[in-house]
């Protein structure tokens, strides 16, 4: 993601070594620990420069900014819907963000997971990590636009008050915040 004036202003409290030096430079987040460690080592050799790569994790300020932008662009109780031909027929996969906050309303634990359901209703399997879902169904590969009719979007909701998932969720002692971000189906 490019460092824009807005992003630079929002992330004003990050140390200068943790963000691009100029507007227009790119934040490069990576899951490869070796790349990140090498970038940090290289940056230390050039005093005052920021590491070319940083660790990609859900609570990274740039990721939190992007999640806030996504949440602001989608109405409450609405999720993005994507029809993907690579997925098994008559299945719906609900991408859910789970958050646990401290008493100040700040996220201290965050996770993305996918709940597979039959389109006719009912859980198809246990939840899976979002990264495993991406890898298994190659959602991170090139996708093509597929038209979705209004009739197709009438998917039984995972949070329907009569669903077993909702009953299990509301029986928890702690108070996690769960939000359906997207639904993938075929």
Alpha-helical regions (H) of 118-163: 130-137
Is the model's pTM score more than 0.75?
A: no
Q: At a CB cut-off of 8 Å and minimum separation 6, what does 23 contact?
A: 3, 4, 5, 8
What's residue 74's pLDDT? 64
Sequence spans of domains, the chain: 5-72, 80-185
What's residue 175's pLDDT? 60
What's residue 141's pLDDT? 74
Task: Provide block-wise average pLDDT over 10 residues at a time, the chain (186 residues).
Answer: 82 75 77 83 76 71 77 68 86 85 66 87 86 84 74 62 58 62 85
């Amino acid at each position: 993601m490019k460092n824009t004036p807005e992003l630079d202003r929002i992330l004003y409290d990050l140390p200068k070594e943790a963000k691009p030096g100029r507007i227009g430079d790119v934040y490069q987040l990576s899951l490869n620990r070796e790349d990140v460690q090498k970038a940090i080592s290289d940056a230390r050799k050039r005093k005052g420069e920021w590491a070319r790569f940083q660790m990609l994790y859900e609570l990274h300020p740039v990721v939190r900014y992007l999640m806030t932008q996504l949440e602001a662009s989608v109405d409450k109780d609405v999720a993005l819907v994507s029809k993907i031909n690579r997925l098994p027929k008559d299945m719906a996969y609900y991408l859910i963000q789970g958050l646990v906050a401290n008493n100040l309303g700040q996220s201290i634990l965050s996770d993305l997971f996918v709940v597979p359901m039959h389109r006719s209703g009912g859980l198809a399997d246990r939840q899976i990590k979002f990264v495993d879902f991406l890898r298994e169904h190659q959602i991170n590969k090139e996708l093509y636009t597929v038209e979705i009719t209004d009739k197709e979007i009438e998917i039984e909701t995972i949070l329907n008050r009569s669903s077993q998932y909702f009953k299990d969720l509301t029986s928890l002692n702690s108070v996690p915040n769960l939000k359906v971000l997207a639904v993938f189906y075929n």
